[in-house]
Structure 1
Amino acid sequence: MTFEDALFELEPDAPADQGFDNLPGTPLEELVAPDWAEALRPVEPQLRDALAYVATQARNGIQVLPAAGNLLRAFRQPLADVKVLILGQDPYPTPGHAIGLAFSVSRETRPIPRSLANIYRELHDDLGLPPRVHGDLGAWSEQGVLLLNRVLSVAAGRAGSHRGKGWEAITTAAITAVVNRTDSAGKPKPLVAILWGKDAESVEPLLNGAPSIVSVHPSPLSASRGFFGSKPFSRTNELLVAQGAAPVDWELPVL
């Protein structure tokens, strides 16, 4: 078994210090998909610093979420396959919830977070798709939906605790890499950005004119002020088809 195999077999609720010490020195190609490794090379020093910060936190007894094996999970699917960007803030701070994909939680999580429940409600209202009892959005990721948090780690129980620790430079580079991809003719590759909330909306200047769907965050505090009824899923598919790309099948598998 390679180190990469061992790393990605860690459970979502692994002990806080399990695997984090290895991350800062692991080759980039073992942490993310090959084309993501190439895209993130210019910010590798900042990525190493962020990983070292997380490792130090874990070594000091602070539980860091998600588990080490899921910290960079958003970059496991090839960069070349991305056609939709959904941007979140930072991981859920409840142990066992965060799995490295924005808004997504482990299949065992009950009840699912309220923001995700609101996403499911809008998915049903928009496309008639049934809500699932689980909150694993991995099937979207496999279709080229990049579920990217602006900040990739958090201390358990302390939402926003790892903001300003270096992750923003990495995710800015990631968004820029997605936007700047071109096909063999030099044309921008199909892309739609779904920006929920002020944090997500702040990256709109990075999109370089790529179509975006902007609304308030699906949080219970704001969903009724413009998230419900915004039809992000059907609108995204319409924009993808207009760019010559296949639509996303937004229906999630049952358990």
Structure 2
Amino acid sequence: MPDDLDRLGAWRHLPFFDETYPDMRPRLGSDRLPPPDLTFRALEMTQPADTKVVILGQDPYHTPGKADGLAFSIPDGFGGRLDSLGNIFREITDDIGQSRQKTSLNDWARQGVLLLNTALSVPPGKPKAHARIGWSVLVEQVLARLCDTPRAFILWGGSAQAYRPHIKGAHLVITSPHPSPLSVHRGFFGSRPFSKVNSWLIDHGHRPINWADP
């Protein structure tokens, strides 16, 4: 069933789902990416208590078959251009000397990396078209919920960095340009977010993330 909110676990208690989403839902339509049953997949896969790292992006890929509900993730076997994800893979290699080819980032989510976009839906071929219809309420509430204990936050691009004021407390916050081909050379390459996060996690008694192929 599309938008089965029972799958959200502890995230279901956020006020957004009772106060904002009912009015938003008809405006989203059924022709959107990722498909409706994957809209909240990032939250479903990474519960608040399990979240060690948050990677905040922009909005889902607007190419059919490419968005899978996790920010930057692409279904294995997609076969098209990787764009932002390909640049992320290059930075992984340059940063930690390991390689990744697996495009689905399910394994990151299972390790406690919340892969969230600032908009959770997009119409096919219309980037940012859903950026201002109410998703900001959810993102703000997610960040507020995660400020209860120190966590690592990676904010890629201007849309993500606009939420920096909502991250309150003693957290690691890493900001850089978006890994999109349009902005990647403005400071994403060489930002070394993966080694920085792992060093911080180890210092705080957590297991580091395996960013490379599982």
Flag the structure with larger Rg.
1
Query: Could you tell me whether the CA contact under 8 Å between 1:65 and 1:153 is conserved in 2?
Result: yes
Report the equivalent of 1:47.
21
Map 1:79-158 onto structure 2 (within 5 A): 79-132=48-101, 134-158=102-126
Residues 157-236 of structure 1 aligned to structure 2 (within 5 Å): 157-180=125-148, 188=149, 190-209=150-169, 210-236=171-197
Q: Displacement of 1:131 after TM fit?
A: 2.9
Residue identity matched to 2:64:
P
How far apart are 1:143 and its partner, in Å?
A: 0.5
Judge conservation of contact 2:109–2:115 (CA < 8 Å) in 1. Answer: yes
8 Å Cα contact 2:98/2:212 also seen in 1 = yes
Deviations 1:176-211 (A, max 9, x none): 11113xxxxxxx2x3100111111111111111321
1:8-52 CA-partner distances (Å, limit 9, x unpaired): xxxxxxxxxxx4xxx4xx5x3x1312x1112x1355221222223
Amino acid at match of 2:7: L
Once superposed, what is the RMSD of the aligned Cα atoms? 1.5
Gaps in structure 1 of 5+ consecutive residues: 1-6, 8-18, 181-187
2:198 counterpart residue number: 237
**Higher relative contact order structure (alpha carbons within 8 Å, sequence separation ≥ 6):** 2
1:31 pairs with 1, 4, 7, which one? 7
Is the contact between residue 87 and residue 200 of structure 1 (CA under 8 Å) also seen in structure 2? yes
1:238 is displaced (CA, Å) by 0.9
Unaligned runs of at least 5 residues, structure 2: none
SS class of match (1:238): helix
Report the TM-score, using the length of structure 2 for normalisation: 0.93
> In 1, are the aligned partners of 2:33 and 2:64 still within 8 Å (CA)?
yes
Partner AA of 2:110 in structure 1: E
Query: Distance between the aligned counterparts of 1:202 and 1:42, measured in 2?
Result: 19
Contact 1:137–1:252 (Cα < 8 Å) also in 2 = no
CA distance in 2, matches of 1:42, 1:152: 13
Percent identity between the two aligned chains: 40
Contact 1:112 1:135 in 2 (8 A): no
Aligned mates of 1:42, 1:154 — CA distance in 2: 19
Amino acid at match of 2:140: T
Instruction: Give every structure 1 segment of 4 or more consecutive aligned residues whose post-TM-superposition deviation is greater than 4 Å.
Output: none
| Equivalent pair of 1:240/1:246 in contact (CA under 8 Å) | yes
SS of the residue 2:15 aligns to: helix
Number of aligned residues: 212
